């Protein structure tokens, strides 16, 4: 084909450009959907141990996105010795399979948060989020005092869960889907994933966890701390052989 | 401008003209650039052969002549195609093997022996400093001095849960919950005032003896029941994590030797009124046994280990 033909026909030029640049994308992305070992199987006693977020954790994750925490924090521990020594076991693909969008990131102004769950107490998180420099004097993390005073909006949790369900996250809305979740995750987890009980579940977890130390109301702080405390805690690595996860690569 | 005559090199054009006279030369690429380009092509082909590269439906090419051998936790040798996770395992195992002797000794010998051995203690100390900075300093601060009221000072010689190696190890391994109930309902303002006066008297503050006597009765009687956790003498109980009230070390109440008795009484009252709930996280799942031992040794050394 002559240069001139392409260069004088912008419609054709656009189409051909799209074809050329999509080859790179297709070659890199499509196989990951096909190759069986992309997402690891992580089962203990026949049940999936990695589950979608509960309504409260999900609300917390939405606040994490809204506040732009990801601009300074990654959630992806790479398989290098120095990272393992500091943060813990490297991240599995399976651990972010229900994250839409995933929070891997690459900018680490602050530390990686992929395994921050259980590292600190709720009380520490609350204080650190309100005033980071009161516990880490050299911190450059911003203050987020409003999280403590802002009531959590949770009436639309069912809608947010339904949206994620559309892209493949196994929240349940019918009895059949619920039973499938019981089969897959066990009864307790299946209960948390039921959209019909979203509001009730959210309040139950907020009261039982008392994440912000004040049980008179459910604030955005409750949700965000619940989210931080679950990060990286779903897989008990002591139950797997060291080589098991390498066999998926 | 006759000297700078514009040369018209004998180069081909791409063959079309815009706006009547705009043409595009078709110069050959610089040699060095071209060879560098061929070199990257050759590199890519070698890379495809050696490393995992091409998708094949549900599988992919695994790379040739390039395997990694690592050991599973039950000691089997596994050989696998090159991948970052196997490489990571090998890297971890190689580092462990290098430090094996010293780590084994750290894991096995009694703490007193670590302290007595120069090489062992220097190694433990340097490792502990990093571990402490990554995991503990956010609460206990970098030198272990803590945050008044919130996170206890580990560098002093007052211990809530005990300062022996075994007790410190237990604290780090399983975590601790410091709990004292709120007395806002159980005690009225006068009683609070009296019992706070008594508490201050225990560590040698000059207070009104009459109020302290009344406070002592509350402390050691049914109304307060403080003795139940703090003992009759107020010396505390490490099994409960209950603070020793007879020393001059304050871990929760903002009592200062330089402040007046009234201000200090208010600080103690605030604690009794509100109660205490503090949590030290458990590290057993997060740090391995040797790391916990190393930290125990370090914290014991920081101050006043028993």
Stretches in chain A below the pLDDT threshold 70 = 1
Whether A13 and A120 map to the same domain: the answer is no
Tell me the CA distances in angstroms from A33 to A28, A95, A96, one per residue in order.
Answer: 10, 16, 15
Geometric angle at alpha carbon A215, from A209 and A219, rounded to 5°:
85
B80 vs A246: CB contact, 8 Å cut-off?
A: yes
Range of the domain at A160: 45-248
At A42, is the secondary structure helix, strand, or coil?
coil
Same domain as B201, residue B85: no
**Any domain includes B39:** no
Q: Pick A119's closest partner by Cβ from B15, B150, B286.
A: B286
Contact A35 B55 (CB under 8 A): yes
Q: How confident is residue B73, by pLDDT bands cut at 50, 70 and 90? A: confident
Are A165 and A171 contacting, i.e. CB atoms less than 8 angstroms apart? yes
Q: How large is the average pLDDT for residues B8-21? A: 76
Complex confidence, ipTM? 0.87
pLDDT in tens, B127-136: 999 999 999 9
Listing DSSP states for B213-224 in one string gives: HHHHHHHTSTTT
Q: Are residues A218 and A129 in the same domain?
A: yes
Does any domain span residue B210? yes
Confidence of residue B1 (pLDDT cuts 50, 70, 90): very low
- pLDDT recorded at residue B8: 57
Residue in A closest to B96 by C-alpha: A81
Position B93 in a domain: yes
- CB–CB contact B286 A118 (8 Å): yes
Lowest mean pLDDT among B2-6, B95-99, B113-117: B2-6
In the DSSP assignment, the letter for residue B277 is: E
Residue among B14, B87, B279 minimizing CB distance to A3: B14
Instruction: Identify whether residues A159 and A232 lie together within a single domain.
Output: yes
User: Is A221 found in the same domain as A187?
Assistant: yes
Q: Is residue A201 part of a domain?
A: yes
A70 near B CB under 8 A: no
Cα distance between residue A39 and residue A103, in whole Å: 16
Q: Give the helix/strand (H/E) hosting B79.
A: strand B77-81
pLDDT confidence of residue B2: 45
Which residues of chain B have a CB within 8 Å of the CB of A80? 88, 91
Q: Within a 10 A sphere around the Cβ of A47, how many other Cβ atoms?
A: 15
Interface test with B, best of A90, A121, A234 (most B CBs within 10 A): A121
Looking up residue B198, the CATH number of its domain turns out to be: 1.10.760.10
Q: Does A121 touch chain B (CB under 8 A)?
A: yes
CB contact under 8 A, A249 and B91: no
Task: Give the domain range for residue B91.
Answer: 67-107
- Rounded to whole angstroms, the Cα distance separating B191 from B185 reads 11
B162 and B290 housed in the same domain:
yes
Kindly state whether residues B79 and B194 are assigned to the same domain. Answer: no
In terms of domains, do A11 and A111 share one? no
Kindly list the residues of chain B whose beta carbon comes within 8 Å of any beta carbon in chain A.
14-16, 55, 57-60, 70-74, 78, 80, 83-89, 91-92, 95, 130, 134-135, 138-139, 147, 150-151, 277-282, 285-286
Q: Name the residue among B16, B55, B95 with its Cβ closest to that of A31.
A: B55
Residue B59 banded pLDDT, cuts 50, 70, 90? confident
Q: Lowest mean pLDDT: which of A190-204, B67-81, B191-205? A: B67-81
Number of structural domains chain B divides into: 3
Which candidate, B65, B61, B95, B68, places its Cα nearest to that of B83? Answer: B68
Token output for B25: 């030369």
Q: Do A118 and B150 touch (CB under 8 A)?
A: no
Give the model's pLDDT for residue B9.
55
Its pTM stands at 0.91
CB atoms within 10 A of CB B146: 17
């Amino acid at each position: 084909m002559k240069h001139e033909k392409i260069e004088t026909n912008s419609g054709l030029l656009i189409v051909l450009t799209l074809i050329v640049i999509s080859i790179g994308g297709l070659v890199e992305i499509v196989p990951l959907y096909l190759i069986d070992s992309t997402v690891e199987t992580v089962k203990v006693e026949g049940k999936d141990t990695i589950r979608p977020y509960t309504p409260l954790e999900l609300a917390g994750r939405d606040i994490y996105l809204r506040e732009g925490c990801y601009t300074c924090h990654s959630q992806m521990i790479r398989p290098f010795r120095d990272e393992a020594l500091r943060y813990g076991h490297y991240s599995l693909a399976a651990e972010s399979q229900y994250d839409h969008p995933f929070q891997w990131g690459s900018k680490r102004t602050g530390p990686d948060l992929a395994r921050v769950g259980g590292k600190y107490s709720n009380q520490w998180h609350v204080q650190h989020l309100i005033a980071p420099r009161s516990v880490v004097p050299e911190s450059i993390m911003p203050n987020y005092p409003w999280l403590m005073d802002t009531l959590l909006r949770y009436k639309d949790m069912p809608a947010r869960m339904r949206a994620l369900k559309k892209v493949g996250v196994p929240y349940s809305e019918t009895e059949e889907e619920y039973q499938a979740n019981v089969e897959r995750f066990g009864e307790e987890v299946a209960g948390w994933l039921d959209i019909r009980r979203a509001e009730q579940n959210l309040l139950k977890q907020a009261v039982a966890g008392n994440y912000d130390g004040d049980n008179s109301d459910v604030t955005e702080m409750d949700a965000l701390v619940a989210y931080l405390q679950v990060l990286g805690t779903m897989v008990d690595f002591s139950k797997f052989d060291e080589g098991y996860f390498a066999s998926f690569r | 401008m006759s000297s700078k005559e514009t040369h018209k090199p004998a180069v081909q054009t791409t063959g079309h003209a815009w706006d009547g006279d705009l043409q595009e030369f078709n110069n050959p690429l610089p040699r060095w650039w071209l060879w560098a380009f061929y070199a990257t092509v050759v590199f890519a082909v070698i890379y495809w052969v050696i490393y995992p590269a091409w998708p094949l439906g549900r599988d992919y090419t695994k790379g040739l002549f390039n395997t990694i051998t690592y050991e599973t936790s039950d000691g089997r040798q596994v050989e696998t195609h090159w991948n970052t996770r196997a490489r990571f395992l090998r890297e971890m195992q190689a580092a462990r093997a290098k430090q094996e002797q010293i780590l084994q000794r750290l894991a096995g010998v009694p703490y007193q022996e670590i302290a007595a051995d120069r090489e062992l203690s220097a190694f433990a100390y340097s490792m502990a400093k990093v571990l402490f900075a990554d995991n503990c300093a956010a609460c206990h601060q970098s030198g272990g001095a803590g945050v008044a009221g919130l996170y206890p000072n580990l560098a002093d010689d007052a211990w809530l849960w005990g300062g022996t190696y075994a007790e410190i190890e237990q604290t780090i391994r399983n975590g601790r919950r410091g709990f004292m109930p709120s007395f806002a309902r159980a005690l009225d303002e006068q009683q609070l005032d009296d019992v706070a006066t008594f508490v201050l008297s225990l560590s040698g503050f000059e207070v009104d003896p009459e109020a302290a006597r009344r406070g002592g009765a509350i402390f050691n009687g049914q109304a307060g029941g403080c003795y139940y956790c703090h003992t009759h003498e107020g010396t505390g109980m490490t099994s409960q994590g209950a603070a020793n009230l007879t020393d001059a070390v304050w871990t929760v109440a903002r009592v200062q030797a330089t402040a007046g008795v009234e201000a200090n009484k208010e600080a103690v009252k605030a604690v009794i009124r509100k109660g205490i709930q503090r949590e030290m996280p458990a590290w057993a799942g997060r740090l391995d046994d040797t790391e916990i031992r190393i930290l125990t040794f370090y914290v014991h050394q920081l101050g006043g280990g028993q």
